[in-house]
């Protein structure tokens, strides 16, 4: 490593838990950590979070639905890749950040134009440049700062040029393919319905092959892996879930290479079957809205599925199914990440601490409360002795710093959020 680049190894995040909030696949992150260490990578994860906020604030079109997660993933991919460029002086290649180039495939079908994507690159560049220059001022000797800033500035502009050219090329290819597909016509009708615009139900129904006047259940099916799933895989998962839950009609539309929107319809509100099919392939997940009638129900169930999917993308629980009927309260509580983090740490106190012991105590206390404070029932569920449950509950109460009867409803909600979202809500926050 060149001497002028050693300062990169001194980068550290403000929040020690930042690394745990990474949205990249574990193998990708591990490669960069091995190269430069966890401190700089944690710093880049925080940088990506700031870039995402800046981009969405300036371009609200990228903050709708779960598009923000695609933006976040792309920002982080660029941020961690840039560590290798800055520290090891390796050459940046746009095709190495597949998360960014997957963006057009996810966004074209939603009507997001190339101008928004290109502008997001320049906004991210401005935010990242300011952060890097601030770090140089703190970590590089004064006599070397100007030369290092010039070097970094040239590197960052080269990255922007590559990303812009690659994004424009990928967008053009994806857009041509999309406009030639029948899905484009059908999704345009769906967008009109979702926007609340008046539509001719008979004609729209014929084009969609779907009756908008019946009872509807909205679905979102997505793949977490940045690589596209096998062709038709997500559509098949959506179809299987809808059939298994008693829907006679279905509308399934791809809205990107890794996500589909779907609706199931039936004549009556209650399903004839509530059987959920077997777990889908690893890395694929499903969110389901509540059934509701008519065009308004088509919209509201979809909105609920989108909200459940957004929650599912943040979940650390390992589950694959996010039914809005089960997670509605968690969706509302976690809608504002900073407030959710403050709430969890305020309610749990010392019980929000890190480590396996804290995890075990939280799980035991949650099980105890979920079983209406039955030591025997909790012991059976956890497969431990009754006295073990009693001891853990007592220890959890001590760590919390107040009785478990105090704000019990809030305590139970905080424990559930902690179990579901992990360090996303347990991590340190400057505002707590």
Please tell me the distance from the alpha carbon of residue 121 to that of residue 117, in angstroms, as a whole number. 7
Q: Is the pLDDT of residue 432 over 50?
A: no
Give residue 4's pLDDT.
55
- Using pLDDT thresholds of 50, 70 and 90, give the confidence band for residue 96: confident
Q: Is the pLDDT of residue 186 over 70?
A: yes
Candidate CATH numbers 3.90.550, 2.30.29, 3.30.300, 3.30.70; the one for domain 212-325: 3.30.70
Express each pLDDT in 79-93 by its tens digit.
Answer: 988 888 887 766 787
Q: Is the pLDDT of residue 290 over 60?
A: yes
- Using pLDDT thresholds of 50, 70 and 90, give the confidence band for residue 2: very low
- Using pLDDT thresholds of 50, 70 and 90, give the confidence band for residue 31: confident
Express each pLDDT in 314-323 by its tens digit.
Answer: 888 888 999 9
Kindly state the DSSP code that residue 111 receives in the 8-state scheme. T
- Using pLDDT thresholds of 50, 70 and 90, give the confidence band for residue 430: very low
Give residue 230's pLDDT.
80
Q: Are 323 and 307 in contact (CB under 8 A)?
A: no
Q: Taking the model in full, what pTM does it have? A: 0.64
Residues of the chain with CATH 1.10.10.2840: 336-424
Give residue 324's pLDDT.
94
Largest CA distance in the chain: 76
Which has more confidence, 234 or 66? 234
Please tell me the distance from the alpha carbon of residue 245 to that of residue 270, in angstroms, as a whole number. 10
Per-residue pLDDT, averaged over 307-311, amounts to 92
Give residue 429's pLDDT.
45
Per-residue pLDDT, averaged over 339-354, amounts to 91
Q: Is the pLDDT of residue 129 over 80?
A: yes
Give residue 299's pLDDT.
94
Express each pLDDT in 357-414 by its tens digit.
Answer: 999 999 999 999 999 999 999 999 999 999 999 999 999 999 999 999 899 999 999 9
Query: CA torsion, points 308, 314, 315, 319, in degrees to nearest 10?
Result: 60
Give residue 1's pLDDT.
39
- Using pLDDT thresholds of 50, 70 and 90, give the confidence band for residue 127: very high
Q: Are 376 and 387 in contact (CB under 8 A)?
A: no
Residue 130 CA, chain-centre distance (Å), reads: 26
Fold of 336-424: Arc Repressor Mutant, subunit A (1.10.10)
Express each pLDDT in 215-274 by its tens digit.
Answer: 999 999 998 876 667 878 899 999 999 988 888 889 999 887 788 999 999 877 665 455
Residues of the chain with CATH 3.30.70: 212-325
What separation in angstroms does the CA of 53 have from each of 10, 27, 46, 247, 426?
25, 25, 11, 39, 20
Give residue 180's pLDDT.
64
């Amino acid at each position: 490593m060149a001497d002028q680049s050693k300062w990169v190894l001194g980068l550290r995040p403000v929040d020690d838990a930042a690394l745990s909030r990474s949205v990249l696949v574990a193998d990708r992150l591990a490669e960069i950590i091995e190269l430069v260490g966890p401190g700089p990578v944690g710093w880049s994860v925080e940088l990506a979070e700031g870039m995402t906020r800046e981009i969405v604030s300036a371009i609200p079109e990228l903050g709708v639905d779960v598009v923000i997660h695609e933006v976040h993933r792309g920002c982080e991919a660029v941020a961690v890749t840039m560590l290798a460029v800055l520290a090891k002086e390796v050459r940046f290649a746009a095709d190495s950040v597949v998360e960014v180039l997957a963006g057009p495939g996810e966004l074209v079908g939603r009507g997001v134009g190339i101008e928004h994507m290109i502008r997001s690159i320049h906004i991210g560049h401005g935010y990242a440049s300011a952060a890097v220059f601030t770090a140089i001022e703190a970590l590089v000797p004064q006599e070397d700062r100007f030369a290092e800033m010039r070097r970094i500035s040239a590197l960052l502009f080269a990255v922007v040029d590559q990303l812009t050219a690659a994004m424009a090329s990928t967008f053009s290819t994806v857009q041509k393919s999309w406009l030639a597909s029948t899905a484009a016509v059908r999704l345009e009708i769906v967008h009109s319905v979702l926007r609340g615009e008046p539509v001719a139900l008979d004609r729209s129904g014929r084009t969609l092959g779907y009756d908008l006047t019946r009872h509807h259940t909205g679905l979102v099916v997505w793949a977490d892996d940045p690589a596209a799933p096998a062709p038709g895989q997500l559509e098949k998962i959506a179809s299987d879930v809808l059939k298994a839950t008693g829907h006679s009609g279905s509308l399934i539309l791809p809205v990107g290479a890794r996500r589909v929107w779907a609706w199931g319809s039936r004549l009556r509100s209650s399903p004839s079957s509530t059987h959920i099919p077997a777990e889908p392939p690893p890395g694929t997940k499903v969110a389901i809205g509540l059934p509701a009638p008519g065009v308004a129900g088509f919209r509201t169930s979809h909105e609920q599925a989108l909200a459940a999917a957004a929650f599912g993308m943040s979940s650390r629980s390992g589950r694959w199914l996010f039914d809005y009927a089960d997670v509605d309260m968690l969706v509302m509580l976690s809608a504002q990440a900073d407030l959710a983090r403050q709430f969890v740490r305020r309610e749990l106190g010392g019980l929000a601490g890190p480590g396996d012991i804290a995890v075990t105590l939280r799980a035991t206390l949650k099980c105890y409360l979920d079983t209406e404070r039955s030591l025997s029932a909790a012991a059976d569920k956890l497969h431990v002795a009754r006295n073990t449950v009693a001891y853990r509950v007592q220890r959890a109460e001590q760590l919390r710093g107040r009785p478990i009867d105090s704000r019990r409803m809030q305590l139970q909600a905080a424990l559930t959020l902690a179990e579901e979202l992990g360090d996303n809500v347990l991590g340190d926050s400057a505002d707590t």
